[in-house]
């Protein structure tokens, strides 16, 4: 028996929400992998964060290495949150309000942080804000084209997973 267009769209929204959760998890885990790599003293790609970051890691500063590992663990937690929003085990381990708050809150923070950074960088590029004479342009462009958009993408995907969870909760209630 053929499905109505309402059933097809509900199925595709369900699939898209689950896909968004898995993609958000991949973003988070890839992001975490870079933190763990840098936390072991690796420097590949670190110049795209900024010359200060390269200097701190190269100096072997234990505090910055520990901070990188803690940030990496936070990113792993973000990936697990994305999975909890789309996997049945999430509903068994956490109360619905916890997942809703963490999912929507995390998505909002990630998108706002990335968008605010990109907005400021665009103001510098357009000359509205004057760049300092000693601007680290490699780090600047690294943030503009790599790191800050990644925050926005991760946030949008996490928002898709949170929307999936929200809709699922409405059907259950």
Written as one string, the DSSP assignment of 35-55 is HHHHHTT--TTGGGT-HHHHH
**41, 57 Cβ separation under 8 angstroms:** yes
pLDDT of residue 169: 85
From CA 168, how far away is CA 173, in angstroms rounded?
Answer: 9
More confident residue, 128 or 12: 128
From CA 2, how far away is CA 166, in angstroms rounded?
Answer: 28
pLDDT of residue 1: 45
pLDDT digit string (tens) for 137-152? Answer: 999 999 999 999 999 9
CB atoms within 10 A of CB 26: 14
Q: Is the pLDDT of residue 2 over 70?
A: no
Q: Is the pLDDT of residue 33 over 50?
A: yes
Q: Taking all residues of the chain, what is their mean pLDDT, rounded to a whole number?
A: 91
**155, 109 Cβ separation under 8 angstroms:** yes
Looking at the chain, the whole-number percentage of residues with pLDDT higher than 90 is: 82
Mean pLDDT for the stretch of residues 79-85: 98
Backbone angles phi, psi at 59, to 5 degrees: -75, -10
pLDDT of residue 115: 98
**100, 169 Cβ separation under 8 angstroms:** yes
Q: Is the pLDDT of residue 17 over 70?
A: yes
């Amino acid at each position: 028996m053929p499905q109505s267009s309402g059933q097809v769209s509900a199925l595709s929204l369900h699939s898209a929400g689950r896909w968004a959760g898995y993609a958000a998890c991949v973003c988070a885990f890839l992001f975490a992998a870079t933190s763990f790599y840098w936390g072991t003293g690796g420097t590949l790609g670190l110049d795209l964060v900024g010359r200060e970051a390269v200097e701190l890691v190269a100096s072997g500063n234990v505090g910055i290495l520990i901070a990188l590992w803690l940030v990496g663990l936070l990113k792993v937690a973000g990936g697990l949150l994305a999975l909890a929003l789309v996997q049945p085990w999430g509903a068994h381990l956490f109360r619905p309000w916890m997942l809703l708050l963490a999912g929507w809150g995390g998505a909002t923070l990630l998108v706002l942080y990335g968008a605010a950074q990109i907005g400021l960088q665009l103001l510098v590029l357009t000359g509205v804000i004057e760049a300092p004479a000693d601007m680290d342009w490699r780090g600047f462009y690294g943030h503009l084209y790599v790191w800050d958009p990644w925050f926005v993408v991760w946030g949008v995907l996490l928002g898709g997973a949170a929307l999936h969870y929200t809709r699922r909760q409405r059907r259950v209630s």
